[in-house]
Chains A and B, each alone.
Chain A
Amino acid sequence: MGEGGMKKLFHAVVVVGAALTGAGCGDDEGGSKLDASAVADASVSSDARVADAAPGSDAQPDARADGMVIIL
């Protein structure tokens, strides 16, 4: 995900989400709340390639006690 794409996702997820119950204004970009479908549509053509990260993870003993499953 390019830098701009991740910023848009941050806005769509966090800023709009928190604004639903009162934190922040939720419409500080473009004057309107971002619609989730519009964000998804925009992501089709965005540069969503991600930068490389070092492989491997840093599993901790508490991973099974505190981790959540997912979509994978």
Chain B
Amino acid sequence: MTERRALPAADADPTIAALPAGTRALLAELWTERAASELAAGEAFAAVERDLAALDADPAVLALAARAVADEPEHAALCMLLAEAYHGAPLPLPAPRPFQLPVHDGADDVLRRHLHVVGLCCINESIAVAFVAACLADAAGPLLAGVHREHLADEIGHARVGWAHLGSARVDAEVRAALIPWLPRLLTANLAVWHDRIGILPEAGVPGHALPPARALRAATIAAAREIIVPGFAHVGLPTAAAATAVDRAAR
């Protein structure tokens, strides 16, 4: 978690007040759903933090993971701040979206823990970085930009959990060899989930409201895979040919 900066008052954002009522209702609903997802992400990070502890992960990695667990409820609160700004009145905090860590059939318990770290942090959170950056670039109002700036800084920290772990001595040659065949599968699966979720968003987006067109958001996920994740695997010494092919397939 980075140090929080003061955000503009919700009722001081003229871009929100200028929207038609129907669009405001839609965005209030989307941000309430995002809050539920953030709460689920907090549970996911808590589970991955336990995985990392069981793996005797590097202390630096454990510290980053602990921060991430604390960040996600704050993200939910930021989402509700936006939801209420669009709604124009207080809203109840939703229940967390149901979540279960992937089972990764065929992996033993130790490998499954490593896969959870790679899947949530190296892949999902790196994609989230590019996604939030794309949304931030489309945020015209001060409140939206402020919330997305906070969110982006935190997502960078969350992705670092995975890359710090892969770069650590705790991920030895045997673990690396076991991870390699899973990388394209994880990329394919995570991109599919992202694209499914993007599919429920308005195809044309809502210009100026941190909601770019769906095709741009899909493209951001692919760009993250091609320009952050696959080169990231290379950076920590993992082969990337199969992973790159998986991304190409997902982009079609």
Contact = CB atoms under 8 A, between A and B. Distances in A.
Interface stretch (B20-28, B80-88, B153-161): B153-161
Contact of B133 (A9, A52, A57, A60): A9
Contacts of B196: 57, 59
* Chain A CB within 10 Å, residue with most, of B120, B137, B162: B137
A20 B222 CA distance: 26
Interface residues of A, number: 52
Given A36-B2, A55-B215, A21 B61 contact: yes
A60 to B, nearest CB: 5
Contacts of B129: 9, 13
Contacts of A49: 134, 137, 212, 216
A1 B227 CA distance: 11
A10 B40 contact: no
B104 A65 contact: yes
Contacts of A47: 137
B156 A13 contact: yes
A23 B168 CA distance: 7
Contacts of B64: 20
Given A13-B228, A17-B164, A66-B189, A54 B131 contact: no
A41 B151 CA distance: 11
B160 A59 contact: no
Chain B interface helix/strand/loop/mixed:
helix
A20 B215 contact: no
Interface string A5-17: 1110110111111
Interface string B56-68: 0010110010000
A64 B99 CA distance: 11
Nearest to B250: A58
A44 B145 contact: yes
B46 interface: no
A13 B152 CA distance: 11
A71 B45 CA distance: 12
Given A13-B163, A68-B44, A43 B192 contact: no
A42 to B, nearest CB: 10
Interface of A: 1, 5-7, 9-10, 12-24, 36-37, 39-41, 43-44, 46-60, 62-72
Interface of B: 2-3, 33-34, 37-38, 40-41, 44, 58, 60-61, 64, 75, 97, 99, 101-105, 115, 119-120, 123-124, 126-134, 136-138, 145, 148-150, 152-157, 159-169, 182, 185-186, 188-198, 201, 212, 214-220, 222-224, 227-228, 231-232, 235-237, 249-252
7 contacts: A1-B133, A13-B160, A21-B167, A23-B168, A36-B154, A57-B191, A70-B127
